[in-house]
Amino acid sequence: MATKTISVHGKRVAVDIIGEGRPLLLVHGFPMDARMWSKQLEPLGAAAKVISPDLPGFGESELPNSVMTPANYADFLSDLLESLEINEAVTVCGLSMGGYIALEFWKRHPSLVNSLIFCHTKATSDTPEAIENRKKTADNARRKGAEDLARDMPVKLTSPDTQQNNIEVMEQLSSMIADQPGPSIAAASLGMAQRANFVSFLPDIAVPALIIAGDKDTLIPMTEMEMMAKVIPHAKFVVIKNSGHLSPMEKPNEFNQDVLAFLAR
């Protein structure tokens, strides 16, 4: 694996790149970084050129603005691909916030999309109550950094099976969240609150799509994803058993098999 540090519009960006062949762009969730995909790099790198950046503000990448919407991250990804001289359409695989970004990427840069993988995400926008919570999360992160999220989120993000039987994942998760800077958490949180509702655009997705849900995901229930799979014309829907919101970390073997089968279709 090569972790590269490059500059995109004068800002530092860290990106893991492994493998050869058709490009597969992995887009992590909130409030995490590219380490979320560490169990995907080698297995998926055997079948594709995997490109896994830290989104601006997260991990080792610099934050450019005080609010980052999914559309802003999507435009960043297109600039990143250009900087990396990736000249063919990519498979975009986004988890949760990464899925909101994948939807924007498809809408704003359709010629760059070969296929889409949506993991534990949804096409709906935030309710007024969710928007209020985003503002509170942003205020709290600006004042206290990632402390409260690192304490509270790991249990919300994972299944009871993971919590009881996979202490390593629980520890990785809380230390990864604790590493994220407060201003970056605030920027992403306020940005997600502004995101568009994509439900009416889903029937226009003409490329193949894989939709991965977890049967124990309490943050984004399976029903949201089932709705996406019904409306997107060429979608395959899979449910990973005993997974919460983070199947790439919680059930990496099952997740990787589903993605490899999709890539090989």
Which residues pair with residue 240 across a beta bridge? 214
Minimum separation from the CB atom of position 189 to ligand MLT (A): 8
Q: Which is nearer to ligand MLT, 84 or 187 (CB)?
A: 187
Q: Which is nearer to ligand MLT, 19 or 191 (CB)?
A: 191
Helix (H) or strand (E) holding 107: helix 97-108
CA distances from 264 to 23, 45, 118, 260 (A): 13, 13, 17, 6
Q: Which is nearer to ligand MLT, 17 or 190 (CB)?
A: 190
Q: Which is nearer to ligand MLT, 49 or 195 (CB)?
A: 195
Please tell me what DSSP assigns to residue 256: H
The answer to the question of residue 29 lying near ligand MLT (CB under 6 A) is yes
Helix (H) or strand (E) holding 113: strand 113-119
Minimum separation from the CB atom of position 177 to ligand MLT (A): 10
Binding test (CB under 6 A) with ligand MLT, winner from 61, 96, 174, 243: 96
Tokens of 4: 């590269």
Residues 6+ apart with CB under 8 A from 110: none
Asked if residues 213 and 239 have their Cβ atoms less than 8 Å apart, the reply is: yes
The answer to the question of residue 30 lying near ligand MLT (CB under 6 A) is yes
Burial class (CB in 10 A: 0-12, 13-18, 19+), 93: buried
Provide the mask over 201-220, with x wherever binding to ligand MLT is found by CB under 6 A and - wherever it is not.
------------------x-
Minimum separation from the CB atom of position 100 to ligand MLT (A): 7
* Binding region for ligand MLT (CB under 6 A): 29-30, 96-97, 192, 219, 245
